[in-house]
Every structure is written in C-alpha cells, then in structure tokens.
Amino acid sequence: MSAEILVELRRCCPPTTFLTTPELIAPYLVDERALFHGRALAVALPETTAAVSELMRFCYTREIPMVPQGGNTGYCGGATPDASGVAMIIALSRLNRIREIDPSSFTLTAEAGLTLADVQQAAARHQLLFPLSMGSEASCQIGGNLSTNAGGLAVLRYGMARDLVLGLEVVLPNGEIWDGLTALRKDNTGYDIKQLFLGAEGTLGVITAAVLKLYPASTQRETAWLAAVDLSAACALLGLARRLLNDCVTSFEYLSLAALELVLTQVPETRCPFAQVYAHHVLLEVSVSGESSDLRRGLLKLFEVAEREQLVLDAVLTETLAQRADLWRLREKIPAAERAAGGSIKHDVSVAIAGVAELVDRASRAVLAEFPAVRFSLYGHLGDGNLHFNILAPATVDALAFRARNAERISMLVHTQAAELNGSFSAEHGVGQLKRDLLAATKSPVALMLMRQIKQTLDPKGLMNPGKVL
C-alpha cells in the first residue's frame, strides 16, 4: 500500500492494527472454498466500535472501498476483496467481548468478532442456549452469521439467525454509529431498521454488536438415525414427528446414501449406523427443557407409527454422548468428504417441504440428461426444505477441469428446477460474488429496484463491499 496512506491511517486510527505484508494478509485474500482470490490495501483489526467508526470515516473520506470479514467461512466469496488491490479489509476478530448476559431477560449482548462457539459457550455457562449451530461454528463469527442470516442445524425449531436478534449496533459507511442495541421484544415504532443489515452481507455497513435471544438450555435430548423409504416418506416422517413429539424436533437432517458413503470412504473412523444398505437417511434430534417429558418413549412411539405407516425401514436411538457425536460427525463431515473426493459443484436450494422430493427428481433428471456420469451428494436441512444438491465430477475425469467447464451449466439446470417450484437458489449461504448474476437474473424488477434504492441511501458512494450481492 502507499506508504503515505499507511502513515495517515496510523495517525488517524491509532488503536487499530494494520496488516500490510503479503504473508500476513494472504489468508484474508482467499475464500473458504478457494474460488476467489483478491488483493487489498491492508487488513485492519479494530478492537472497539469507536475504532471501527474512525477507520470507516477515514476510508469514506478517502473513498477507499471497505470489505468486512468475519471468520471467512462463507461459501459465496462475500468476504473476499476484488483484484484491484484498493480495498481495506475490516477484520472483526479482535472485537470479541461479551458485553452483557441478562439471564432474566434471556439475552446476551455480543460483539461481532466472537466466534459462534464462544457465544454458545457463554450462554451455556448460565444454563441457557443460543441455538444457532453449524459445522463452522468454531471459526465463523456472530457478525458473519448475522450478515449472512445463517441457517444451520436448528432452524426448524428456533429460526434463522435473523430470528435470534433483538438489537444491533452498526457502523455506517461514513463512520456514523447506529446504536440499535435494544433488548425489547416488542417495539412497533416504525421501520425495523436492523432487518436491513441482517443478511446484507456487509454491503450496507459493519455490524459491531448484537443483542441475541437465548432460550432455556435443553435438559433432555434424544438423537436417532432412521432409514426412510424414500424422500417423500422422509418428509412425511417430519410431519409425524412434529405432531407426535409435541413439536420438539430440533434438527431433521437428510443424507442420501451417496453423501453418507462419501463420508464413510473419505473420513477415517466413521461407521454406518446400519448393517444394511439404505438409500435415504435422516438424523433426527429432539430436545426439551424441564423435567416432565419422556422423549425416549415418544421417539419409540414415533418409530412404531412410522414403521406401520411404511415411512421408515430401520431406526437406531443413541445411548451415549459418544454415539450421538458419531452420528453428528457423519452429517457434519460431508463438506470435508466432498473436498477430499475432489470437490463438488454446490447448490443451496430450498423449496416448500412438500416439494423437496419433486425438486430432487426433476433436478436429477435434468442434470443426468446432459451429464450422465456425474455423481450426486445430496444432503441438507430437510426440516427447512433446504437441500445441498451437490454434484461431483464423474469418477474417471479430472474433477477440477470438469467443474471449470461445466459448473455454470449444471448450476443453471438445478436452479431452473428450483425456480420452477417457486424455490430459492440460496437458502442460507447468501449471494456474495458467486451468485450475484443469478440474483440480478432472477429477482423481480421491483425487488431489485428496492434493493438498489436501499443501497444508494445507506451507501451513496458504493464503498461497502463492492461487487457483492448487487
């Protein structure tokens, strides 16, 4: 970076550390999936909201583009700068304090740079639960979770990240601080401003802190693995489980046999829960707080009814925490297994739950008609109608070259089928730079106009995370 700007930056923003050497900034310049490589002026590591504000005021005045970055685990290249080398990366990892826990109000005020796991643990120390949970929780940050409106493994019961927020503190592109850190559950005083920043992927400002909703910690939890007759049966099982178990289903995750086999072959010390081979698997978890429920009895009843209604072929219930961990490992290791098998063309599609089986049928046929030798790795948050419809190159070809040549066409085929079923091309991973053109091509003109007007109002110079989302 220009030595003069660095001197000026250090003078204007004395508490902030700036990384400038190529070795130190390299990890911030590439996304989780290594799809995007960018360049940057520097990486700033502010430690307070005031420092973020000073830094952003400086950048705004000098018209330096700003790219917020959390744990850099996002799947759409949202935190990676472009190749111009003029942007300032604002990394939030040092803004990482718990400001307050209020057990009587069931709230926790967290700074943006805390990892999701830190937030969960802070709540747990008070016998409370922060229910957002996902495979990346040890490294993704709460600011990134809120900026991507992350989903994860307990949406069915507790909602997306957006549903877990009461208040926000945001630094606007010009450095002004919006203090919306309210813990009110009821506040109908005009527009709900925080909603603009949730899921905005850093294009409207930098989230610096949030008041998060907590829940009573679970006191009973049961985890089961079931083999469903087919995908429609798996969806019907979800409805049955919700009805029979008093709506206490926390997670309802689907794994196709192909996704499961990838894990079993690629990840050491993994084992199939069944001796027999089944095509459709469900990881089901139910939980309650308080002492009165007999969840185990409820689950056994569910197995009995589901078998009688010819929805399931087999089921196991875990007896120990280690067994539970083994089952979750099978689900959470799928992305790593895909990577080990040469990588996949990923899709994060959602439709109404009733339409999931039709989506899989139509999208599989559309893809196979043009690419008959590809391999599928289908899995996801079936309880939310959200499937990761991932596709691996044929076993006999170079995976990287195959993806480079065919990813665009294959994704088009999958997304077209999701759109025809009124679905979404991005259920939880966002838009970033990966799906920007898709957003432009598929959102209605009115929706796009409104999004552009909001962007223009909050970021008139277009300095916040340019090239992302819009």
Ligand X SMILES: Cc1cc2nc3c(=O)[nH]c(=O)nc-3n(C[C@H](O)[C@H](O)[C@H](O)COP(=O)(O)OP(=O)(O)OC[C@H]3O[C@@H](n4cnc5c(N)ncnc54)[C@H](O)[C@@H]3O)c2cc1C
Residues that bind ligand X (CB under 6 A): 32, 67-75, 78-79, 92, 112, 134-136, 140-141, 143-145, 147-148, 150-152, 201-202, 206-207, 335, 428-429, 432, 465, 468
Contacts of 354 (CB under 8 A, 6+ apart): 235
- What sign has the CA pseudo-torsion 38, 44, 47, 50? negative
Q: Please identify, using beta-carbon distances, which residue of 415 and 429 lies nearer to ligand X.
A: 429
Sequential DSSP letters for 11-66: HHSTT-EEE-SHHHHGGGGB-TTS--B---SEEEE--SHHHHHHHHHHHHHHT--E
CA distance 464 to 64: 9
Task: Indicate the Cα dihedral angle 272, 276, 280, 282, nearest 10°.
Answer: -50
DSSP state letter for 115: B
Q: Please identify, using beta-carbon distances, which residue of 71 and 383 lies nearer to ligand X.
A: 71
Query: First-to-last CA distance in the chain?
Result: 27
Q: How far is the CB of 153 from ligand X (least distance, A)?
A: 6
Q: How far is the CB of 255 from ligand X (least distance, A)?
A: 14
Q: Please identify, using beta-carbon distances, which residue of 78 and 383 lies nearer to ligand X.
A: 78
Q: How far is the CB of 287 from ligand X (least distance, A)?
A: 18
Q: How far is the CB of 155 from ligand X (least distance, A)?
A: 8
Amino acid at 238: L
Q: How far is the CB of 422 from ligand X (least distance, A)?
A: 21
CA distance 140 to 372: 37
Q: How far is the CB of 4 from ligand X (least distance, A)?
A: 27
Q: Please identify, using beta-carbon distances, which residue of 180 and 335 lies nearer to ligand X.
A: 335
CA distance 142 to 117: 9
Q: How far is the CB of 133 from ligand X (least distance, A)?
A: 8
CA distance 128 to 122: 9
Residues facing residue 115 across a β-bridge: 141
Q: Please identify, using beta-carbon distances, which residue of 273 and 432 lies nearer to ligand X.
A: 432
Q: Give me the residue whose beta carbon is nearest to ligand X.
A: 144
C-beta of residue 207 within 8 angstroms of C-beta of residue 69: no
Order the strands of the 17-19 sheet from edge to edge. Answer: 17-19, 42-45, 88-91, 66-69
Amino acid at 358: E
Q: Please identify, using beta-carbon distances, which residue of 250 and 293 lies nearer to ligand X.
A: 250
Q: Please identify, using beta-carbon distances, which residue of 135 and 298 lies nearer to ligand X.
A: 135
